[in-house]
């Protein structure tokens, strides 16, 4: 599994498509058999406490794409703080288990693992 991270609108989806994946191969549902899981930050935010349990499903994917969300100020609402925390922790776990980690900035991918 390759983890692709980067800020909102940094060019992650364009990068995925540049690797040859089509729209039909990209989904937001970790449970289906699409090779690419996109928007992990939203999936994890739905149930922050259960986010870690997604790990086995995510590791079956070829690509997992997640926004980096930890470089802003602390959110005002508790549920947002919990979601932000869960997304960050999940990304650390994913990165640990990933074969590769790619960070996209201004549309430019850099392999960081």
Partner 1 sequence: MLILLTGGAACGKSAYAERLTEGYEGRKYYIAAMEPFGEESLKKIARHREMRSTRGFETIERYTDLEHLVLPEKGLALLECLCNLTANEMFSEKGAGRDAVGAVLRGIETLKKQTDTLIVVTNEVGSGYDTYGDRTPEYIDNLGIINRAAAALADQVIELVCGIPIFLRR
**Dihedral angle sign, alpha carbons of residues 34, 60, 7, 86:** positive
Q: Which residues make up the interface to partner 1 (CB under 8 A)?
A: 6-11, 14, 67-73, 75-77, 80, 83-84, 87, 105-108, 110
Shortest reach from residue 94's CB to partner 1, in Å: 17
Residue with Cβ nearer partner 1 (33 or 78): 78
The sheet carrying 26-27 orders its strands as 26-27, 36-37, 63-67, 2-6, 100-105, 108-111
**Residue 113 CB neighbour total at 10 angstroms:** 12
Shortest reach from residue 56's CB to partner 1, in Å: 25
Residue with Cβ nearer partner 1 (45 or 63): 45
């Amino acid at each position: 599994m390759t983890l692709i991270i980067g800020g909102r609108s940094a060019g992650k989806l364009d990068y995925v498509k540049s690797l040859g994946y089509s729209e039909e191969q990209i989904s937001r549902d970790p449970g289906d058999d699409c090779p690419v899981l996109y928007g992990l930050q939203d999936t994890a935010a739905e149930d922050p406490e259960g986010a870690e349990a997604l790990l086995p499903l995510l590791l079956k994917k070829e690509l997992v794409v997640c926004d980096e969300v930890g470089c802003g100020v602390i959110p005002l609402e508790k549920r947002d703080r919990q979601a932000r925390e869960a997304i960050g922790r999940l990304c650390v776990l994913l990165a640990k288990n990933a074969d590769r980690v790619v960070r996209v900035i201004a549309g430019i991918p850099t392999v960081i693992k």
